[in-house]
Each structure stands twice: as C-alpha cells, then as structure tokens.
C-alpha cells in the first residue's frame, strides 16, 4: 500500500460536510482539521501501482464542497 496526503480547501462553511462525506465514503485512513491555507489534511492509501492522480480526481475532488486540493506524496517513513 502507498500512503499519501491531500490538503483540502473547502468552500466557506463546508469543512464538516466535506469531512463527513470523506468518512462516509470510507476512502480515507485519517482526517484532520487544520488551520492555515487549507481546512483539512487527509491521509489515504492506494494499492501499489495505482494512479494517485486518478484517485484524487475521481474519488476526492468530486465531493461537493471541495474548492481546491494539494496532494503530498511521501517516499519513506523514518
């Protein structure tokens, strides 16, 4: 499994709606509320060889209330 993170900027007043939709979809490993430019930090796992770009485009960005995303791909845990 390959872990990666997505920072999510939500439309105003939609952070809890987006977080609940992610939890209901059961696609996220962890969901955190954050301060700053983005509202949520979400950890996902995909199978080795899966296309992360397609996953984010088709599974994450289609959730209503999401304004913008930033994907962070990790390489090694220390």
Cα of 77 vs its chain's centroid, Å: 19
* Model confidence pLDDT, tens digit, residues 35-77: 999 999 999 999 999 999 999 999 999 999 999 999 999 888 7
- Domain positions in the chain: 2-73
> pTM, whole model, 2 decimals?
0.94
Burial 11-49, CB ≥16 within 10 A → b, else e: eeebbeebbebbeeeebbeebeeeeeebbbbbebebeee
Rounded Cα–Cα distance for residues 41 and 9 (Å): 9
What region does 65 belong to: left with phi over 0, alpha with psi -120 to 50, or beta?
left
Is the predicted pLDDT of residue 78 greater than 90, yes or no? no
Hey, what CATH class is 2-73 in?
alpha beta
């Amino acid at each position: 499994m390959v872990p990666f993170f997505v920072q999510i900027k939500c439309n105003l007043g939609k952070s809890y709606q987006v977080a609940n939709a992610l939890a209901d979809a059961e696609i996220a490993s962890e969901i955190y509320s954050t301060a700053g430019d983005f509202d949520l930090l979400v950890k996902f796992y995909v199978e080795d060889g899966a296309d992360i770009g397609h996953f984010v485009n088709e599974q994450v960005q289609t959730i209503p209330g999401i304004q913008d995303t930033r994907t962070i791909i990790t390489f090694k845990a220390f």
